[in-house]
Each structure stands twice: as structure tokens, then as C-alpha cells.
């Protein structure tokens, strides 16, 4: 820990330099100091200029090289570990009170782990400067896309804001010009360069045909009800109104009302999944529609790459990727080139693309309010404040519109 600053009385006059070549200047706090590249470093005390000089000479090389982080700026001078530990504990309490979900908590923990790994546990918070944050950002993996970078910066700034608002530091952090989120223009350009996250109706039929009983029901829920992996994994049998072919609930991610009408095909698939559900599951998940063969939930809170996503990737490979690679090879394309071309086409297009496909297709119904209701999207407009529910028929119409699109894409032999 740094030594406490010895404050001089206002009546004390600053001492002069012991000799003209003495490199340190007396500071009003009672220490000797020297300014290097815009930062002030403190050494010894007024009454012992020789000890202050020795300290300067000991630290000089590190300071000039930018490696010295021992500035003493008073009582609010905790280290990186103290900030991250306090922040994670605060988020753990938020998780317990259900203000955040497990995945959000896990992301905050990982951000703190990376922050500590770069700066070190004992790095003093008072020494963090804009140049340090710019250097930190430059060390991030080149494989990170703009959305990942923006998420990382947002969570780090939440961490830093927490430090100031909870008096871990006595002034806000300055992160500088080079620690900003990626511009929206760049985000749009990057999105344009990536494959469109959409399936055709024909693609989805192939996926359904290649899937096992449980995954088949999940895929149909994805395109029928805009369900993501977590929505499928959390779905309880008691949440389904079989008489109305209806699911209505608060979407876990947004706590926004969400409702959907289930297609006849989806109802059949869900019933088949329930009929073949693995027995003897723990009571905590006994009501789940989908249970793995190991008697576990298909989705566990906090995980990013869910079991559902992994299982879907295998189905996508079997139903779409392998046939496309084979077709290219049959057309005379070299095997490695064909595999690389197809892999690039399908990169990043996973289970969640079903939700993208629902939103895009359902927009053709020209009832965006009903589409948003099925999606469980937040609506911050004034109209939403006054809107008290929605006519169920509008939900049915939107889901039926997507079903007509889906059925039109069925292979001719099965129509």
C-alpha cells in the first residue's frame, strides 16, 4: 500500500531546492514531486530531500518507461481486485433478487476476469489513464466483431461507473477517445458483409425432417412462436393452453408479455416430445417440455453456448451443409474448397436464425404490433403505455401468415 500523504500546514512555506540541479519540486501536500508526461509522481517529504531523491532515482526508469503505477493519491486508492470483487458481489446480489439473469451475471464475471488479467490485481485504480484503456482495447482478439466489442466496452463502463458511485474511487474514470463503442455506420457495414441470418421455408422443412423428436419440436417452436434456445429450454408443459393451442407468458429475457398461437404441426411435435420425455427427472424440471437423456434441463442459466445450439448445429450440418458440399463436389468443385465455401455461407446462422426468420416473414402480415407481441419485444412508445393487451385474433393471424409461408415451402412429395 502507498504511504499516507503528509499534508503541510497552510502557514508552512514551501522549501527551496537543496541545490539548483535537484530534480524534484515541493508540493503543497508536503511531498516532493515530479511531473512526467502529464502525470505527477510524489516522493518522500519536504523535510528529507535526500530520501525523496533516492526514491525518485529508484523509480525513475519505470516512470520514464510508463511502467510505474505507484502514484499515491490519498485514501481512495483501492486496486483493481477490490473494484472487481465489489462489483461481482453486487451483481451476485442482483442475480439473487432476479434483477439480472444468470447469463448477464456470467458475462459480468468474465469481463472482470479479463480486466484483472490485463491490469493485474494490485494495479492502483488511481493510475488508470486513457492511454491504459486504449492499450487494453488494442489487446482484444481480432476475431471479435463490433457487437462483441460494444458489449465489452458497455460492461467495462458499467464496472467503472460502479466504482465511482460506490466510493471505491473519488472521481470518475477517464477512458479517453480511443475507448468508445464502434460507430453505428461500421456496425451496418459489418452486418452487410455477413451472411443473412435467415432460413428459407425449404431449409426449415429439411431441418425438421433431419431432427429427432425433441429437436423437431424446438425447431417448430422457433419458426412458429419465435422461440430462442432459452425459451425452448425453459418451456413448461403447464404453460401451454392445449384447448386454445396457445402459449402466453412474460418473456424471461425482457419481462414483456408474449403470446403465440401454436400450429397444428407444432402441437403434434410437442406432444410427441412430451410422450418420449425421459422419466425420473428432478422435481425442479419435471414440468419441462424438453428434458435431456441425462435428466437435465436443455438450458442452464448463465450458459452462452447452450446444449440446444450444439444439438441444432449437428442437425444443420446433416440437413443443409453436407448436402450442399456434396452437390458442389458432384459439380466438380474440389472437396476442401467446397467445404470452405459452404461453411462460410452458414457461419453464424444457428438456432436463433429461426427467430430472425419469423420476424422477417411475419412482417409481411402488415401488423407489426402483433408481430412484436409474438416476439416479446419491448415497446417504449407512448402508444404502448396506453395499449391494454391485444386481440388474440391478431396473434393467430400473424402466426397463420408464417405457417402459410412455411407450408408453401414444403417438398412437393409431402405437400
| pLDDT (tens digit per residue) in 146-188 | 889 999 999 999 999 999 998 888 889 999 999 999 888 888 8
pLDDT at 386 over 80: no
Q: Which residue has the higher pLDDT, 261 or 385?
A: 261
R_g over Cα of the chain: 30
Alpha carbon distance 103, 150 (integer Å): 17
Q: What was the pLDDT predicted at 305?
A: 64
Confidence bin at 11 (pLDDT 50/70/90): very low
Q: What is the pTM of this model?
A: 0.68
Q: Percent of the chain at pLDDT above 70?
A: 92
Residue 201, SS3? helix
Mean pLDDT of the chain: 88
- pLDDT tens-place string over residues 233-267: 999 999 999 999 999 988 877 778 899 999 999 99
- pLDDT tens-place string over residues 62-73: 888 776 655 444
Q: Which residue has the higher pLDDT, 376 or 304?
A: 376
Residues 276-288 as b or e (16 or more Cβ within 10 Å = b): ebeeebeeebeeb
Alpha carbon distance 170, 145 (integer Å): 34
Amino acid at each position: 500500500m502507498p504511504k499516507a500523504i503528509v499534508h503541510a500546514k497552510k502557514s508552512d512555506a514551501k522549501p527551496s531546492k537543496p541545490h539548483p540541479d535537484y530534480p524534484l519540486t515541493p508540493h503543497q501536500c508536503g511531498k516532493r514531486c515530479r511531473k512526467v508526461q502529464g502525470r505527477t509522481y510524489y516522493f518522500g517529504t519536504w523535510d528529507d530531500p535526500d530520501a525523496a531523491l533516492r526514491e525518485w532515482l529508484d523509480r525513475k526508469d519505470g516512470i520514464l518507461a510508463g511502467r510505474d503505477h505507484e502514484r499515491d493519491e490519498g485514501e481512495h486508492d483501492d486496486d483493481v481486485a477490490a473494484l472487481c470483487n465489489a462489483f461481482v458481489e453486487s451483481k451476485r446480489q442482483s442475480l439473487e433478487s432476479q434483477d439480472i439473469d444468470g447469463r448477464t451475471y456470467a458475462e459480468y464475471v468474465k469481463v472482470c476476469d479479463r480486466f484483472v488479467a490485463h491490469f493485474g490485481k494490485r494495479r492502483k485504480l488511481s493510475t488508470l489513464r486513457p492511454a491504459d484503456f486504449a492499450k487494453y482495447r488494442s489487446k482484444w482478439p481480432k476475431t471479435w466483431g463490433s457487437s462483441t466489442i460494444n458489449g465489452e466496452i458497455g460492461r467495462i463502463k458499467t464496472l467503472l461507473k460502479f466504482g465511482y458511485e460506490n466510493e471505491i474511487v473519488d472521481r470518475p474514470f477517464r477512458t479517453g477517445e480511443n475507448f468508445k463503442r464502434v460507430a453505428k455506420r461500421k456496425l451496418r457495414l459489418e452486418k452487410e458483409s455477413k451472411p443473412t441470418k435467415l432460413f428459407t421455408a425449404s431449409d426449415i422443412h429439411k431441418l425438421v425432417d433431419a431432427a429427432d423428436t425433441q429437436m423437431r419440436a424446438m425447431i417448430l417452436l422457433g419458426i412458429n412462436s419465435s422461440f430462442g434456445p432459452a425459451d425452448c429450454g425453459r418451456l413448461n408443459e403447464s404453460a401451454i393452453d392445449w384447448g386454445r393451442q396457445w402459449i402466453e407468458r412474460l418473456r424471461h429475457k425482457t419481462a414483456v408479455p408474449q403470446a403465440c398461437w401454436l400450429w397444428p404441426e407444432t402441437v403434434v411435435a410437442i406432444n410427441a416430445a412430451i410422450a418420449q420425455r425421459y422419466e425420473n427427472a428432478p422435481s425442479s424440471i419435471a414440468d419441462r417440455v424438453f428434458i435431456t437423456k441425462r435428466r437435465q434441463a436443455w438450458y442452464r442459466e448463465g450458459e452462452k453456448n447452450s446444449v440446444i445450439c450444439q444439438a441444432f448445429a449437428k442437425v444443420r450440418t446433416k440437413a443443409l451443409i453436407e448436402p450442399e458440399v456434396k452437390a458442389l463436389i458432384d459439380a466438380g468443385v474440389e472437396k476442401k474448397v467446397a467445404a470452405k465455401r459452404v461453411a462460410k455461407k452458414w457461419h453464424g446462422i444457428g438456432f436463433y436464425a429461426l427467430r430472425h426468420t419469423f420476424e422477417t416473414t411475419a412482417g409481411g402480415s402488415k401488423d407489426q404490433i402483433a408481430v412484436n407481441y409474438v416476439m416479446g419485444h419491448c415497446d417504449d412508445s407512448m402508444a404502448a403505455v396506453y395499449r391494454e393487451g391485444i386481440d388474440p385474433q391478431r396473434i393467430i393471424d400473424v402466426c397463420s401468415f408464417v405457417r402459410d409461408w412455411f407450408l408453401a415451402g414444403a417438398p412437393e412429395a409431402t405437400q
